[in-house]
Chain A
């Protein structure tokens, strides 16, 4: 019987295991290997050059610029998004009416094509008389803003729709976390005379720690991987003006598929992979130590 079941199990698993080896594991190792070659697709020749790409990378100004931008997206976007989504979830939970409407309204941007959203926002940001935001500013008697054309504003102009598109997802997760807290905790606290504020800081937030950690992990990955927005909101997808909005993934895309420097681009992906791993492990460890 056991052999019978084992045979069936591996019959079911044979193709999927092959798939994971060919389409996940082999490419992962291949990415590490390519990162140690000087391969560019035009030359067809591939030489092993050790860690030279990584050395090059640390002297590449664009690498530091794009890393800086990526960190800025994450460090600004994640806390703002979490604060906003928690506030919304908390208010929805207490409003006690129209819950499904609010959930749907906030969630819609998350399931919509980012390409479409990016172009809508790009249009909203245009100069007057095209762009709605500048039209509104002018009708209020305020000066026009450059938004995507201004190198000091462009990163924030990209960040706004990025937060906007993600906040609904974070809100749904927070709301599920809030609903999982047993009502009797609050009842007991009220009887003891705890105010709403005390209940929020002493009961709600501590009990939401697992939710927050989960959202920190998936949220930092979301912001570290920013690409589609910038590709569609900057001039010819270049990440301008003057690389002001260019994230690391766009640098990877440009190196690999516009300049065909496959070795260098792979080295960049290895760095991205390492950063995501480290952040995930740190965030997991932080929760464990609190338990």
Chain B
């Protein structure tokens, strides 16, 4: 095959793929563009706002509880991420590096929980939260997620690659097992911890079903629950709905742009998400 035919074919392939990226990205572009429009502009088909304005954002933050919801989502996402990193790596490490009676049983016991759909658990969780007065508290939103079977499984795989010699040398130096884990093993699995942190944060930032059920007090809404509620109220003002959607979307965009390679590698590696 001649080079020019090859070049032409490649150009056609890239053209098709570019066209498809326009289809994939167009709803986002339209969303952000509309969030900067006002008045009759909102109904225009022009992608670039005629009179770009921050008015909608100012109104959103003044009139609704969006700042509060934003904080709630950050707080819930951050706390769960820290907890998941701690417990999942501790358990993953124990299952990978300790030999003890019952190890296989514990492993299967944890792995099996990944088969249970959340939808089946929300009713008992709700009953439990009601009885313990956890509804409309941060703990109520967070408790189902503080340890995850998926993360444990992921970390176990990575801790296998930590050489036993290093762990042994820690023992000879007189470190206790907790310090060996935190000082020697943890620094060696940093890339895995980064991937897990991103999955945990993004997954909880976007979580909808359980936060919707457990919080009825608007002060406790996370961003997705708040956005759903707000959009229902403001349905006739679509530019406000698009502004709210942009606020919920943009932080994840930024995280994605920074960690793009780790995220895509992590997904390809594990093939899963919470």
A interface residues with partner B (beta carbon < 8 Å) = 2, 5-6, 8-10, 12-13, 15-17, 19-20, 23-28, 30-31, 34, 41, 88, 91-92, 94-98, 100-109, 111-117, 119-121, 123-124, 126, 129-130, 132, 135-136, 139, 161, 164, 168-169, 172-173, 175-176, 214, 218, 221, 225, 227-228, 231-232, 236-237, 249, 252-253, 256-257, 262, 265-266, 269-270, 272-273, 276-277, 280
Query: Most A CB atoms within 10 A — which of B10, B100, B119, B246?
Result: B119
8 Å CB contact of B115 from A6, A13, A168, A277: A277
Q: With A116-B227, A120-B245, A269-B119 in contact, is A108–B256 under 8 Å at CB?
A: yes
Residues on A with beta carbons closer than 8 Å to the beta carbon of B224: 113-116, 228
A224 to B225, CA, bound (A): 22
Q: How far does the Cβ of B59 sit from chain A's closest Cβ, in whole Å?
A: 17
Assess the B123–A31 pair: CB atoms within 8 A: yes
Assess the B45–A27 pair: CB atoms within 8 A: no
Assess the B24–A113 pair: CB atoms within 8 A: no
A114 to B43, CA, bound (A): 24
Assess the B248–A115 pair: CB atoms within 8 A: yes
The 6 closest A-B pairs by CB, nearest first: A27-B124, A176-B268, A105-B21, A116-B245, A30-B124, A115-B224
Closest to B28 in A: A108
8 Å CB contact of B238 from A12, A103, A130: A130
A105 to B23, CA, bound (A): 10
Assess the B117–A227 pair: CB atoms within 8 A: no
8 Å CB contact of B30 from A124, A139, A253: A124
Closest to A268 in B: B119
Q: How far does the Cβ of B61 sit from chain A's closest Cβ, in whole Å?
A: 17
Q: How far does the Cβ of B85 sit from chain A's closest Cβ, in whole Å?
A: 13
Assess the B120–A257 pair: CB atoms within 8 A: no
A104-B257, A112-B28, A123-B34 are known; give 11 further A-B pairs, CB within 8 A.
Answer: A23-B144, A24-B116, A98-B14, A109-B27, A116-B244, A116-B246, A116-B248, A123-B238, A232-B231, A256-B122, A272-B119
Assess the A116–B249 pair: CB atoms within 8 A: yes
Assess the B256–A104 pair: CB atoms within 8 A: yes
A101 to B98, CA, bound (A): 43
Q: Mark B99-143, 1 if CB is under 8 A from A, else 0.
A: 111010010011001011101111111111010000000000001
Assess the B144–A111 pair: CB atoms within 8 A: no
Assess the B87–A119 pair: CB atoms within 8 A: no
Assess the A20–B113 pair: CB atoms within 8 A: yes
B interface residues with partner A (beta carbon < 8 Å) = 10, 13-14, 16-18, 20-21, 24-25, 27-28, 30-31, 34, 43, 45, 87, 90-91, 93-94, 98-101, 103, 106, 109-110, 113, 115-117, 119-128, 130, 143-144, 146-147, 149, 152, 177-178, 181, 202, 205-206, 208-209, 212-213, 223-225, 227-228, 231-232, 238, 241-242, 244-246, 248-249, 252-253, 256-257, 260-261, 263-264, 267-269, 271-273
A23 to B31, CA, bound (A): 38
Residues on B with beta carbons closer than 8 Å to the beta carbon of A280: 115
Assess the B245–A24 pair: CB atoms within 8 A: no
Assess the A13–B91 pair: CB atoms within 8 A: yes
Query: Most B CB atoms within 10 A — which of A8, A97, A120?
Result: A120
Closest to A227 in B: B209
Closest to B9 in A: A94
A13 to B223, CA, bound (A): 33
Assess the B124–A26 pair: CB atoms within 8 A: yes
Residues on B with beta carbons closer than 8 Å to the beta carbon of A276: 115, 117
Residues on B with beta carbons closer than 8 Å to the beta carbon of A26: 124
Q: How far does the Cβ of B250 sit from chain A's closest Cβ, in whole Å?
A: 10
A156 to B152, CA, bound (A): 37
Q: How far does the Cβ of B209 sit from chain A's closest Cβ, in whole Å?
A: 6
A120 to B242, CA, bound (A): 7
Assess the B124–A34 pair: CB atoms within 8 A: yes
Q: With A112-B249, A130-B238, A265-B123 in contact, is A94–B27 under 8 Å at CB?
A: no
Q: How far does the Cβ of B153 sit from chain A's closest Cβ, in whole Å?
A: 13
Closest to A94 in B: B13
Q: How far does the Cβ of B223 sit from chain A's closest Cβ, in whole Å?
A: 7
Q: With A111-B252, A130-B43, A172-B268 in contact, is A236–B177 under 8 Å at CB?
A: no
Assess the A115–B228 pair: CB atoms within 8 A: yes
Assess the B13–A91 pair: CB atoms within 8 A: yes
Q: How far does the Cβ of B230 sit from chain A's closest Cβ, in whole Å?
A: 10
Q: How far does the Cβ of B207 sit from chain A's closest Cβ, in whole Å?
A: 9
Assess the A9–B98 pair: CB atoms within 8 A: yes
Q: How far does the Cβ of A117 sit from chain B's closest Cβ, in whole Å?
A: 7
Assess the A121–B100 pair: CB atoms within 8 A: no
Assess the B209–A111 pair: CB atoms within 8 A: no
15 contacts between A and B (CB under 8 A): A5-B100, A9-B98, A34-B123, A97-B14, A106-B24, A109-B24, A109-B28, A112-B252, A114-B224, A115-B248, A116-B245, A119-B242, A119-B245, A218-B272, A231-B212
Assess the A114–B31 pair: CB atoms within 8 A: no
Assess the A117–B27 pair: CB atoms within 8 A: yes
